[in-house]
C-alpha cells in the first residue's frame, strides 16, 4: 500500500527532499499543490486538489507557503484535510513570527493551523516567539493546550537534538555528532522522517532518533533537493551511534514543573525511571529495533508491519 504525503508548497526543490527520502523509505508519493505564484490569487481548492488531499495520509504545510499562496487557499486545504481525515503537519518556520503580526487573514490562518494541525514542528526560538515561554517543553505544552486536534508538538534544537511533546508524555533525543557541511534541507528532511514515524506508528523516541539521524546525515552533504541524505547514509549514522549528549542541558529543561508527565530520554546508558528520573532508552535498543525495518525498506522498497 502506497502512503501519500501531500506537500503544500510552491518551491520545486521540495519535491527533491521528500521524494529522495520517501522513495528510499517506501512510504510516500509527493505532490506539489500549487506550482506557480501565478495561482496566488486562488481562494478555492480545485476538485483535483481535493482528490489529492483525500488520498493522502498527511498534508504538510510550511510557513513559507504563505509567501506565494493566499491565506484563504491554505486554510481551505487545512479545513478540507480535517473534513476527510487527512493528518495535517505544520512547520511555521521563521514566517511564524511575521504571520502572528501580519494581516488579519494571515493571523487567522496561523491560528487555524496552530489549533487544527495534528503535528506542529518548530525550533526552540520559534516556539518561544509564538508562546512567549522560554522553556521549549512548557512552550510546547502551551500549544497543545490551545490546540483542538494537536497530538504532537516537536521542538527542533539543532545540535542539542529534538523533543516530542504530547498531552501526557515528553520524549527527548540528543542529536548525532556529525561533521556539518551544509544545513540546507536539514529541517525539511527532519519533517519527512517525522511523517514516516507518524504514519507507521513507530514509538516516539524511535521516531525522533530516525529524524535526528536524517537531519544529521543531510548536514554532512551539500545542498537540498535530491542531494539530501539517502536511507543508507541514515543507517550508517545510526550504526555509528555517536550521540551529542548534554545531560546538564536536559536537566535544566526537565527540572521545571513537569509533574505527571511520562518522560523518555534516548541515551547511551540505561537507567530505570523513577519519580525523579526519566525512563532512559538505550540507543542500542532503538538501533537494534529500527535498523532491520529500515534495511528491509532499503532492499525491498516496503516497510514491514
pLDDT tens string, the chain, 305 residues long: the values are: 344 556 655 444 344 334 444 444 444 433 434 444 444 545 678 888 888 888 888 888 888 888 878 898 889 999 999 999 999 999 999 999 999 999 999 999 999 999 999 999 999 999 999 999 999 999 999 999 999 999 999 999 988 999 999 999 999 999 999 888 877 777 778 888 898 889 889 999 999 999 999 888 888 876 555 566 777 888 889 888 889 988 888 888 888 766 678 899 999 876 554 555 678 899 999 999 988 877 776 666 555 55
* Domains by residue range for the chain, with CATH: 5-299 (3.40.1190.20)
Cα 177–180–185 angle (5° rounding)?
Answer: 110
Q: Of 199, 187, 285, 204, nearest to 25 (Cα)?
A: 199
* pLDDT value of position 300: 61
CA atoms within 13 A on the CB side of 205: 23
**CB-based contacts of 82, cutoff 8 Å, min separation 6:** 88, 116, 149
Q: CB of 60 within 8 A of CB of 92?
A: no
Q: Of 189, 199, 196, nearest to 156 (Cα)?
A: 189
**CB-based contacts of 180, cutoff 8 Å, min separation 6:** 219, 220
How far is the C-alpha of 105 from the C-alpha of 72, rounded, in Å?
7
C-alpha pair distances (Å), 84 with each of 42, 79, 108: 21, 9, 21
* pLDDT value of position 282: 92
3-state class of 89 per DSSP?
Answer: strand
Cα 1–14–146 angle (5° rounding)?
Answer: 80
Give the pairing type, strands 30-32 and 58-62.
unpaired
pTM for this one? 0.87
* pLDDT value of position 2: 41
Alpha-helix runs per DSSP H in 132-272: 136-146, 186-199, 204-219, 231-240, 247-254
Using CB atoms within 10 Å of the CB of residue 251, give its burial: 0 to 12 exposed, 13 to 18 middle, 19+ buried.
Answer: exposed
* pLDDT value of position 196: 84
Helix (H) or strand (E) holding 20: helix 13-25
Helix (H) or strand (E) holding 298: helix 283-300
3-state class of 176 per DSSP?
Answer: strand
Instruction: Give me the sign of the Cα torsion angle 223, 224, 230, 236.
Output: positive
Amino acid at each position: 500500500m502506497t502512503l501519500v504525503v501531500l506537500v503544500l508548497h510552491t518551491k520545486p526543490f521540495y519535491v527533491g527532499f521528500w521524494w529522495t527520502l520517501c522513495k528510499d523509505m517506501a512510504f510516500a508519493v509527493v505532490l506539489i499543490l500549487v506550482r506557480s505564484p501565478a495561482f496566488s490569487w486562488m481562494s478555492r481548492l480545485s476538485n483535483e486538489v481535493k482528490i489529492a488531499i483525500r488520498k493522502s495520509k498527511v498534508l504538510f504545510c510550511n510557513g513559507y507557503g504563505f509567501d506565494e499562496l493566499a491565506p484563504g487557499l491554505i486554510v481551505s486545504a487545512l479545513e478540507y484535510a480535517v473534513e476527510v481525515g487527512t493528518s495535517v503537519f505544520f512547520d511555521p518556520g521563521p514566517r511564524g513570527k511575521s504571520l502572528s503580526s501580519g494581516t488579519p487573514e494571515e493571523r487567522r490562518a496561523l491560528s487555524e493551523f496552530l489549533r487544527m494541525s495534528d503535528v506542529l514542528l518548530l525550533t526552540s526560538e520559534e516556539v518561544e516567539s509564538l508562546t512567549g515561554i522560554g522553556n521549549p517543553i512548557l512552550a510546547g505544552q502551551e500549544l497543545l493546550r490551545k490546540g483542538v486536534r494537536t497530538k504532537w508538538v516537536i521542538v527542533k534544537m539543532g545540535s542539542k537534538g529534538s523533543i516530542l511533546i504530547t498531552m501526557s508524555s515528553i520524549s527527548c533525543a540528543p542529536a548525532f555528532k556529525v561533521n556539518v557541511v551544509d544545513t540546507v534541507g536539514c529541517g525539511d528532511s527532519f519533517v519527512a522522517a517525522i511523517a514516516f514515524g507518524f504514519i507507521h506508528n513507530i514509538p516516539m523516541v524511535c521516531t525522533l532518533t530516525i529524524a535526528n539521524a536524517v537531519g544529521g546525515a543531510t548536514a554532512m552533504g551539500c545542498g537540498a533537493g535530491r542531494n539530501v541524505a539517502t536511507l543508507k547514509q541514515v543507517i550508517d549514522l545510526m550504526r555509528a551511534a555517536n550521540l551529542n549528549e548534554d545531560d546538564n542541558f536536559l536537566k535544566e529543561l526537565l527540572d521545571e514543573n513537569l509533574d505527571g508527565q511520562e518522560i523518555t530520554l534516548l541515551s547511551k546508558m540505561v537507567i530505570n525511571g523513577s519519580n525523579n528520573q526519566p525512563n532512559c532508552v538505550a540507543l542500542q535498543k532503538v538501533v537494534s529495533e529500527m535498523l532491520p525495518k529500515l534495511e528491509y525498506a532499503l532492499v525491498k522498497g516496503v516497510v514491514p508491519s
